A and B are shown apart, each in its own frame.
Chain A
Amino acid sequence: MTETLQGEMAIKTEGDIVLVRRTTREVSSQTGFGITDVTRIVTASSEMARNIFKYAGEGVMRWQRIQRGDRVGVEFQFEDHGPGIADVQLAMQEGYTTGEGLGMGLPGAKRLVDELEVKSVVGKGTTITLRKWLKNLK
């Protein structure tokens, strides 16, 4: 199945959050992740898509299968042109919430994946990249 090696979809409506969950589930399963890791990836992605819908109105999710050395994984990138995050370090702290948020946010999502990178410029937008690697099968 080469068609899921990479791709992108728009996040514009509440219904797209469900589509993000479906897409991330499919891509992660096909890459070879087990049910627990698939659920971790889908849950983190669902929160990222929800943030885009709530704070930026719309955005894009891009995905691709990735390789580093002999490791294989998946990458999901969430990009929006919303208000941006003023203090990324603060937003990554445990328990941080903007008040109207639900208090899980970025630190929660980070625990579910191997890597979470945030690039944000106030007034320009935010790009959040999630990566998860398959455990080495020795």
Chain B
Amino acid sequence: MNPDNISVIKVRDLLMVTMPPDPDDPTISALQEKVLNSMEKYEAKGVVLDISAVETLDSFFARTVSETAQMVTLMGGRTIISGMQPAVAVAATEIGLTLGNVETALNVDRALDMVNKPKPGTSHD
């Protein structure tokens, strides 16, 4: 699979990233680099990573995604994972995978709604 086929699109001040259904490891690694470079290039405020097509979330994928989210945080951005399939959520939980503290949303619509609200745990009222 060609790592170039991860699409990273700038929408307003966000990056929209769509993962292919069954990415190999080089594609998953390429995702990280592409997202971080695009953050800088487009001066984005955050990333919505849509995994609605993804059929298997294994340990490498989960680790890369949570690491990428941490890196985006270091760069001053926010990451929201959207669209995890029910079966993927079941298998990932049972095997013991977590995405760390990455925010998640049911779908891209909900993710975009979240972006306009403050991140949970950051308000002081």
Contact = CB atoms under 8 A, between A and B. Distances in A.
Residue with the highest number of chain A CB atoms closer than 10 Å, among B55, B85, B86, B95: B95
Contacts of A122: none
A36 B59 CA distance: 18
The residue among B1, B60, B63, B91 with the most chain A CB atoms within 10 A of its own CB is B91
B66 to A, nearest CB: 11
B88 A39 contact: yes
Contact of B26 (A14, A38, A103, A109): A14
A14 B63 CA distance: 17
A69 interface: no
Interface in A28-61: 35-36, 38-40, 42-44, 46-47, 50
A108 interface: yes
B33 interface: no
Given A17-B24, A112-B95, A47 B87 contact: no
A104 interface: yes
Give chain B's interface residue range (CB within 8 Å of chain A). 20 to 34
Interface in B20-37: 22, 24-26
A35 B88 CA distance: 9
Interface in B54-90: 55-60, 63, 85-88, 90
B26 A39 contact: no
A46 B87 CA distance: 15
Contacts of A39: 55-56, 85, 87-88, 90-91
A12 interface: no
Contacts of A112: 91, 94-95
A36 B86 contact: yes
Interface of B: 1, 22, 24-26, 55-60, 63, 85-88, 90-92, 94-97
